[in-house]
Structure 1
């Protein structure tokens, strides 16, 4: 049997510690919930803005939604392939980096800008098929 090339011994790509770390991350993962995002957007953009701890909690949830959408967009290379998605990702990053203002009106303005950006990015990612649907 001439011409056969000996097979190389297989080596796993990750050691036990790295596999344990990957498993921990998989266990912490939750699927994207567009319905929850839209509920939070509706609450943030309601005629009567939330107050007190609800305002802070809602802002944090919307920031989390926004970060998740940016991760989805970047993984799908949407900012490179779609100028509008790229613009929305930049706006999302800017909003995420901003501190929530201390005054109520400033905090509500920040909340609503975050909600609008999350909604627009969700719709754009659905339109360019980075997400199967917006809800």
Structure 2
């Protein structure tokens, strides 16, 4: 007859601060939405330039899409394994650092460059099978 072995003590992997950080990140997390990405890119690249207010809203949404795509590229290691993805991430970080110009023409130009950056990175990640439901 075997005697039961005493159970070893268990230590949680995270303290309360670590758990709070994980909870905050989970609450801020938004799933990838390929349809919304394509709608926003389409609105930004439409033949009719959006008015200033709409352009500012689109810039905010495209920034969010681009930051999410960069995070996906880094997490999937596509950034490490694919030189074009690395170049697109570098370009994305550069464009994200720019501010929306006050001049309407320049703002529309910035919006369209941002939209192309989002679309190109999404296409590359879809091609590498890092994304589903887009392009």
Common topology (TM > 0.5): yes
Measured in 2, the distance between the counterparts of 1:27 and 1:100 equals 28
CA deviation vs aligned residue, 1:59-101 (integer Å, no higher than 9, x gap): 1110111011001101112121011111111111110001111
What TM-score does the superposition give when structure 2 sets the normalisation length?
Answer: 0.89
Q: Aligned residue for 1:67?
A: 67
Which stretch of structure 1 is more off in the superposition, 21-30 or 47-56? 21-30
Matched with 1:119 is 119
Q: For residues 61-100 of structure 1, what are the structure 2 equivalents within 5 Å?
A: 61-100=61-100
Q: What residue number does 1:47 align with? A: 47
Distance 1:28 1:93 in 2: 21
User: Aligned equivalents of 1:86 and 1:25: distance in 2?
Assistant: 25
Q: CA deviation at 1:108?
A: 0.4
Deviations 1:78-134 (A, max 9, x none): 121011111111111110001111101110010000000100100100101111342
Question: Does the aligned pair in 1 maintain the 2:35–2:133 contact within 8 Å?
Answer: no
Deviation at 1:7, TM superposition (A): 6.9
- Give distance in 2, aligned partners of 1:7 and 1:32: 42
4+ residue runs of structure 1 moved beyond 3 angstroms?
none
Range with bigger deviation, 44-53 or 27-36: 27-36
Task: Determine whether 1:15 maps to 2:7.
Answer: no
Coordinate RMSD, CA, aligned: 1.7
C-alpha distance in structure 1 between counterparts of 2:46 and 2:132, whole Å: 27
